[in-house]
Structure 1
Amino acid sequence: MSKKLSVVTTVYNGQQYFDRAIPSILNQTYSDFEWIIVNDGSTDATAQLLAEVAKKDARVKVLSPGRLGFTKALNYAIEKAQGEYIARQDFDDISCPERLRLQVEFLDANPEVGVVGCNYIVEDENRKERYVRMPATEHDRLIKTMAKCVPFAHTLVAFRKQALLQAGGYPDVEDGVEDLRLWITFAKHGWLLASIPENLGTHWVHPKSFWHRNFEYSYRQKQLAGVQWQAIRELNLPLWMGIYPLGRYVYCYLPKDLKSFLRRVLAGSKEESLEYSNSN
């Protein structure tokens, strides 16, 4: 019997993170879902540990197609998913207990919305920062945000499978900006973007993440700038907004405090600082 919601996760060598996503998803207040977890060619104990989780909870379905890479593994998982809605969840992040319930209810109530995000805590181990990021909630503001940055935490969005199929799936790129490319395509197909103004999870930024393992910082900034230009061109945003992607070429060389100032004041990122602790 098909479910309304499929949670989708890919993991590569995630042994040290079994205390994060697994309990946070299995203990959601909304419990009627399937969880598709793709073991993307792990070489540590991830496969054995996932098998134990699946034995204890029938909602968990572990797939092991071999090493595909992030976006191919996501598309593979979603191809197998039965849900009308897809909730993304990275293995090293946490969802608050009400996340799935609130996002399912939001998509039920707003059939024109293709993807919905939320507020979330950022635990930035690279910069030793901790803060709450609060995306815009209205479609028009989120569209403009795409000229400045990625509007959502990819790990904490839910979207309609129909919208993803119309977009042709995740783009077959491995540059860390596949999510922004996808939201641009959603918008071009007429889907609205939205975000729930509640803190529904925690996203870690750390040296061992996929993004930081695979790409140098300056390269990541340049790739992001290129996709920001794509948003400006394809979504008919004002050309003056080109100052934001251009700024990426300078941003990567600035000190941490100045980056925070530019992010919050000039780029308009709505954030609330929290105390950082090495124990997080």
Structure 2
Amino acid sequence: MIESPTPALTAAEVEPLISVVLPIYNGEQYLAEAIDSVLSQTFANFELIMIDDGSTDDSQHILREYEKRDPRVRVVVRENRGLATTLNDAIDIARGTWIARMDQDDIALPHRFERQLEWLEQTGADICGSWVQRFGSSDKRVVRLPQTDDAIKMAMLFCSPFAHPAVIMRALLVKRLRYDKTWEKAEDYDLWERAAEAGWKMANVPEVLLSYRVHAEQISTLTANRQQQLTQDIRRRYGAFVSHSMRLNQRWIDEVLKISESSLSELDMDAVDAAFTELLQQSHGEARDVVFDHATRLYFRAAANCPNIVSRWSKLNREFGEGFKVATKLQLWLFRLLQVRADGALFKQLKRIYIWRASR
């Protein structure tokens, strides 16, 4: 008897290695460009899950057209439920071993997935991001994020160490932790913080794999204020974890984090110096570089409130920095002399020149 050949599986039936999660809300202006950048990846074994979260523009029509063209595309259209819920809904139906994030207005470079999978295998990480380059405005900076697990977990004390739309995460783990809608507007930072406490191994590919679009519709002043408050709450939560795990004085870390707030009254710089000294002593390699970089940024923020800020930073630099850094000392002195306050417009203008010029 001649056996009938086994029918070939369709693209929709093949178990994907990656599930790409792309939430949509009124994204018609840039949506096609974002989708095209995913579908043209050099690594092709993925599904693209796109949930339209109650859009009122033409996004749904665009999604349906792509659904007809490519069997890897899965589209869900429903009422608005918010970003965190939409991400969780997509994660729940994801079939891949890995969850890759993507936003409706960004562009993934063609080799993004291929390169990140290589990096995940090389490092054994549970989550992997990458550097990103901003575009769409005069801001064309490359955001260079820390590469190693130790450095990322140090950076998390001060800011989110990943570009959210550039990450790939182990599906089994993210399905357990999930996004928390209580922290919406900072739901990614909240997830990374909880993942760090849970012991996830973390990495960033030290090259640009995503173009991050900057445009006026991204965030309102009200949303920015809410995001800033949530971010500070997450910093404090992680600060307590770091203090306990590294056996540091909790009050010292609290004083460091206080510098990120708009009001810097009654700042204890002795505690700040002590905290950074301990953090630097217990860090090595890239992690130490990350701590020293953030220490320098925060000393600039504190300069107007601290008469001897230059000598304090110089002492830290002698022990843990590289070179004499005469320019940095001069800039700190200038910030102090001009009383450049962290919540003022002049600080925002100068920090791009003096502090964030090379990295943000």
Same fold per TM (> 0.5)? yes
Residue 67 of structure 1 corresponds to 80
5+ residue gaps, structure 2: 1-13, 263-341
Q: Describe the SS at the equivalent of 1:208.
A: coil
Residue 119 of structure 1 corresponds to 131
Residue 171 of structure 1 corresponds to 180
Q: Describe the SS at the equivalent of 1:9.
A: strand
Residue 206 of structure 1 corresponds to 215
CA drift of 1:81 comes to 0.6
User: Can you list the C-alpha shifts for 1:107-153, whole angstroms capped at 9, x where unaligned?
Assistant: 23443x2211111102374xx42200111111111111111111111
More strand by share: 1
Q: Describe the SS at the equivalent of 1:130.
A: coil
Deviating beyond 6 angstroms after TM superposition, the runs of 4 or more aligned structure 1 residues are none
Q: Describe the SS at the equivalent of 1:248.
A: coil
Decide which structure has the larger Cα Rg and report it: 2
Q: What amino acid is aligned across from residue 248 of structure 1 in structure 2?
A: S
Residue 260 of structure 1 corresponds to 352
Q: Describe the SS at the equivalent of 1:90.
A: coil
Distance 1:215 1:159, change over 3 A: farther
Q: Distance in 1 between matches of 2:349 and 2:221?
A: 25
User: Can you list the C-alpha shifts for 1:129-184, whole angstroms capped at 9, x where unaligned?
Assistant: 220011111111111111111111101011101121232x1112253111111111
Is the 8 Å Cα contact of residues 183 and 230 (structure 2) preserved in structure 1? no
Q: What amino acid is aligned across from residue 241 of structure 2 in structure 1?
A: E
Q: How does 1:153-164 map to 2 (within 5 A)?
A: 153-164=163-174
Q: Distance in 2 between matches of 1:263 and 1:172?
A: 33
Distance 1:78 1:53, change over 3 A: same
Q: What amino acid is aligned across from residue 200 of structure 2 in structure 1?
A: W
Q: TM-score, normalised by structure 1?
A: 0.86
Alignment partner for residue 231 of structure 2, among 224, 238, 245? 224
Is the 8 Å Cα contact of residues 183 and 190 (structure 2) preserved in structure 1? no
Q: Distance in 2 between matches of 1:252 and 1:8?
A: 36
Residue 189 of structure 2 corresponds to 180
5+ residue gaps, structure 1: 273-280
CA drift of 1:243 comes to 4.9
Q: Distance in 2 between matches of 1:262 and 1:175?
A: 32
Distance 1:214 1:89, change over 3 A: farther
Is the 8 Å Cα contact of residues 95 and 201 (structure 1) preserved in structure 2? yes
Q: Describe the SS at the equivalent of 2:182.
A: coil
Alignment partner for residue 261 of structure 2, among 249, 266, 271? 249
CA drift of 1:230 comes to 1.3
Distance 1:162 1:253, change over 3 A: farther
User: Can you list the C-alpha shifts for 1:2-45, whole angstroms capped at 9, x where unaligned?
Assistant: 21101001010111012431111111111110000000011111
Alignment partner for residue 2 of structure 1, among 8, 15, 22? 15
Residue 325 of structure 2 corresponds to none
Q: What amino acid is aligned across from residue 140 of structure 2 in structure 1?
A: R
Alignment partner for residue 131 of structure 1, among 125, 138, 141? 141
More helix by share: 2
Correspondence 1:151 to 2:158: no
Aligned length, in residue pairs: 262
Is the 8 Å Cα contact of residues 217 and 252 (structure 1) preserved in structure 2? no
Distance 1:214 1:27, change over 3 A: farther
Is the 8 Å Cα contact of residues 129 and 204 (structure 2) preserved in structure 1? yes
Q: What amino acid is aligned across from residue 128 of structure 2 in structure 1?
A: V
Is the 8 Å Cα contact of residues 114 and 186 (structure 1) preserved in structure 2? no
Q: TM-score, normalised by structure 2?
A: 0.68
